[in-house]
Structure 1
Amino acid sequence: MDISESFWNASLEELKQGYIEESDSYFCLLCGEKIEKGIIYPHEGIFYEAKRYMRVHIEGSHKSVFDYLIGLDKKLTGLTDHQNHLLRLFYQGKSDKEVQTEMGIGSASTIRHHRFALKEKERQARTFLAIMELLKEKDQHAPAFVPPHKTATMVDDRYAITEEEQKEITKKFLPEGINGRLIKFPPKEKQRLIILREITRRFETDMIYTEKEINQVIRDMYDDYVLIRRYLISYGFLERKADGSQYWLKK
């Protein structure tokens, strides 16, 4: 299951809880962890049924759904750095006076004004969501867009990719499919994004790779592995340690 697609297709309630329920398991929308139903999971001397253990997983791996969501790129949350800081402090249960003191801005009434502005943003978001839901029922010509990956570092027009475009570009540059060779690294940024997304399918989600292992996986597809590796990192598909000793897929 594609984590980003599941994340963006989830309902508001599912996003708030951080997971979705499937027929035989619970699926973490934040990292893709799957907890099978019907199994008892031990954790620190306590045994949990699957649904409760999923909540334990989220707390242990992500701290909270709020912390995960607030940590997403500002292009995905629509929040300024200032608003992000305010929401973090509000979530911690700080009073207006405490927030004002910590941020060193205005007065307690200034913070109340910011609360009002955020509430207004919430009302606008709810209205917009309702409009878009109603539009889906009438707009028969809307193309099916591929959702951006959650770890994207720069969401812009390059991410306006339809499912049809993705199939066309993938077939053009990877004619033998994901297990074949990349015949050429595309010249256009949108095309590169599509191909980079396909290349990530060669990597295991929960595996830590050495630089040599990363290079080999890429080299199996394309000779200029340094170029591809650099793009995978800059587009937010791969993460690495500062010394380059370990690499892994970002979730």
Structure 2
Amino acid sequence: MSKEGMFWNSTVEELSQGYIYDDQNETYICLVCDEPFECGVIYRRGDVLLEAKKAVQYHIEDDHDSMFDSLLSMDKKYTGLSDHQKELLHYFKRGLADKEIVKELDSGSPSTIRNHRFKFREKEKQAKVFLAIMNLLKSDEKENKNSLVGIHKGAKMVDERYTITVEEKEKVLSTYFDEGVEGPLSTFPSKEKRKIIVLQQILKSFKSNEVYSEKEVNEVLKSKFNDFATLRRYMIEYGFMDRSKDCTKYWVKN
């Protein structure tokens, strides 16, 4: 399963704790940055030595503050929350009373805050019912050529270009990677949806928990297409990768 697949196929409990256990590789994997923690390896945290499960838990706390913050920081298209709602949830997490929140916001009234609390509870109920509906749908639905391909977490825009079926993906990959997906591109597509499919495949050439120099990125992309600068630009533009302001460091965008 791909890194994106691990995140989106995780259970609510796994998303809440921030990691999953890969029993095939006996490894705990952080769902925020995909960093692996292998069972049997001892990890150091200051003067303390930790086993893998404890190490991934402290990793989330040290590097990502908390899963609450990490999930809440995701784009609105994933959370469905406005900036104001996110701010209120931060206050609720801190355990502030309605009057205290009004004081922090310097606006509104305790009754307004109580109304928000009620709406969040209703939203939670709706989410549970919807998850149950989708779970029942999936249990009766075998993956077929019309199943949709998942969207990468770093996507900067989500529109009809991302409505990609398994059949479309397979057809595009066989067309543009005529030597197989491990080989080079025969040509770079001009249509937007095809670009996304091709870029999704090329992204698999990069490790999600590594930082690359521009030269290293170019070397990987050169093996896929002679116009590596175009590939690099689209990797950034479509949110597959990110880079430092001085363009010296590149990484897979989570």
Report if TM-score (shorter chain) is over 0.5.
yes
Q: In structure 2, what is the Cα distance between the partners aligned to 1:113 and 1:95?
A: 13
Rounded to whole Å, the distance in 2 between the matches of 1:206 and 1:130 is 33
C-alpha distance in structure 1 between counterparts of 2:74 and 2:157, whole Å: 11
Q: How does 1:58-73 map to 2 (within 5 A)?
A: 58-73=60-75
Report SS of the residue matched to 2:101. helix
Deviation at 1:197, TM superposition (A): 0.9
Q: Distance in 2 between matches of 1:146 and 1:112?
A: 40
Where does residue 203 of structure 1 map in the other structure?
Answer: 206
The residue number in structure 2 matching 1:36 is 38
Corresponding residue for 1:180?
Answer: 183
SS in 2 for 1:42: strand
Indicate the residue corresponding to 2:21 in structure 1.
Answer: 21
Task: Kindly indicate whether the alpha-carbon contact (under 8 Å) linking 2:176 and 2:187 is maintained by their aligned counterparts in 1.
Answer: yes
Tell me if the contact between 1:186 and 1:192 (Cα under 8 Å) persists in the aligned partners: yes
Q: CA–CA distance in 1 between the matches of 2:188 and 2:37?
A: 38
Give, in whole Å, the separation in 2 of the partners of 1:212 and 1:47: 36
Give the Cα–Cα distance (whole angstroms) in 2 for the partners of residues 50 and 219 of structure 1: 37
Aligned-partner residue type, residue 11 of structure 1: T
Task: Give TM-score, length-normalised by structure 1.
Answer: 0.91
Alignment RMSD: 2.0
Q: Deviations over 1:220-247 (max 9, x none)?
A: 3223333222221121111111121221
Q: Residues 96-132 of structure 1: CA distance to partner in whole angstroms, max 9, x if unpaired?
A: 2232233333112111111111111111111111111
Letter in 1 for 2:84: H
Residue of structure 1 equivalent to 2:150: 147
Query: Does the 8 Å contact 1:3/1:30 carry over to 2?
Result: no
Shift of 1:141: 8.0
Divergent runs of 4+, >4 A: 139-142
In structure 2, the partner of 1:7 is 7
Query: Which of 213, 218, 229 is matched with 2:216 structurally?
Result: 213
SS in 1 for 2:95: coil
Give me the TM-score of the superposition, normalised by structure 2.
0.90
1:216 positional shift: 3.2
Q: 1:125 to 1:221 in 2, by over 3 A?
A: same
What letter corresponds to residue 91 of structure 2 in structure 1? L
Alpha-carbon spacing, 1:246–1:140, altered in 2? closer, same or farther (3 Å): closer
Q: 1:93 aligns with which of 76, 92, 95?
A: 95
Aligned with 2:168 (options 156, 165, 168) = 165
What residue number does 1:121 align with? 123
Unaligned runs of 5+ in 2: none
Supply the AA of the counterpart residue of 2:129. Answer: T
Pairs within 5 Å for 1:220-231: 220-231=223-234
Report if aligned partners of 2:34, 2:209 keep a CA contact under 8 Å in 1.
Answer: no
Q: Would you say how many aligned residue pairs link Structure 1 and Structure 2?
A: 251
2:134 matched residue in structure 1: 132
- Taking the aligned partners of 2:209 and 2:135, their CA distance within structure 1 comes to 35
